[in-house]
Amino acid sequence: MHQQSTALISLNPSLTSLNFFNLLNNLKVFPSKTQINTKESVILELENHKPNFLFISSSLPGVIDIVEVVTKAKQVSPGTKIILTINDNDTGRILNYLIANVDAIIWSDNFVESVEFAIRQALKDQLFICGRSAFELRRLLVEQKSESRNDIGLLSLLTDRETEVLHSLTQGINYKQISKLLFISESTVKTHINNIFTKLSVNDRTQAVLYALKHGIESIAKKPDLLKNLTNQPIQK
């Protein structure tokens, strides 16, 4: 990491240790403001300064719905990478956080150990989900799949080739790898992905992957092994 980055810190005080700030300094990430703990102040700072990172806790005092804060944050500063820390009360909401387009999810009791990798992955436009969060996400997706049964939703609108491309995305495969796997050009892959976004009414790869997993793409795709990458590697956006 060569260029300097700025960060807005909106974390619970227990997470803002000296080790955390030393780590930021080593990575050339410099806080513009620290301990911004209301929705209004977070959004105002993002609008005015457009920092590279927002470190935010899911349980900020006085903030009822962190999903609303994250969604608004992405609207006012789309380029800001949002690294969210969660706790045991968030296990049922991880999917909501991903749909709100956070860039990393870290468990608060493993914060310092995970934050460096989360920063590096966010700078490469890769979604980072720590192992414990990935396990909970997997459980939620299995539960939702069971509830929806054979409801494949908007997946029925996809062509066979678009289904193959989307299934490849759920495996964490990048554009170049998909083009080699399916024997098509990278530009054709991008065209298929744009068509997928339109048909599924989603805005990015993360939302497309989550929709596909939720609605059981393995039931219509050739390769059923969908979830292994959630626990082994970051998901590329």
pLDDT greater than 60 at residue 147: no
- Please tell me the predicted confidence (pLDDT) of residue 61: 65
Comparison of pLDDT for 183 and 235, the residue scoring more: 183
Q: Tell me the per-residue pLDDT of 43-64, one tens digit each, with 9 for 90 and over.
A: 888 999 899 999 999 877 666 6
* Of 13, 11, 75, 85, nearest in space to 46 by CA: 75
pLDDT greater than 60 at residue 18: yes
Sheet holding 29-33, edge to edge: 29-33, 5-10, 53-57, 81-86, 104-107, 126-129, 235-236
CATH number of 5-136: 3.40.50.2300
pLDDT greater than 60 at residue 145: no
- Please tell me the predicted confidence (pLDDT) of residue 7: 92
What percentage of the chain carries pLDDT values higher than 90?
A: 23
Q: Which CATH class is domain 149-236?
A: mainly alpha
Q: How far apart are CA 173 and CA 54, in angstroms?
A: 27
Q: Tell me the per-residue pLDDT of 168-210, one tens digit each, with 9 for 90 and over.
A: 888 777 788 889 889 999 999 999 999 999 999 888 887 888 8
- Where are the chain's structural domains? 5-136, 149-236
Helix, strand, coil percent values for the chain (each to nearest 5): 55, 15, 30
What percentage of the chain carries pLDDT values higher than 70?
A: 79
pLDDT greater than 60 at residue 235: no
87: three-class secondary structure by DSSP = coil
- Please tell me the predicted confidence (pLDDT) of residue 171: 75
pLDDT greater than 50 at residue 41: yes
Q: How confident is the model at residue 69 (pLDDT cuts 50, 70, 90)?
A: confident
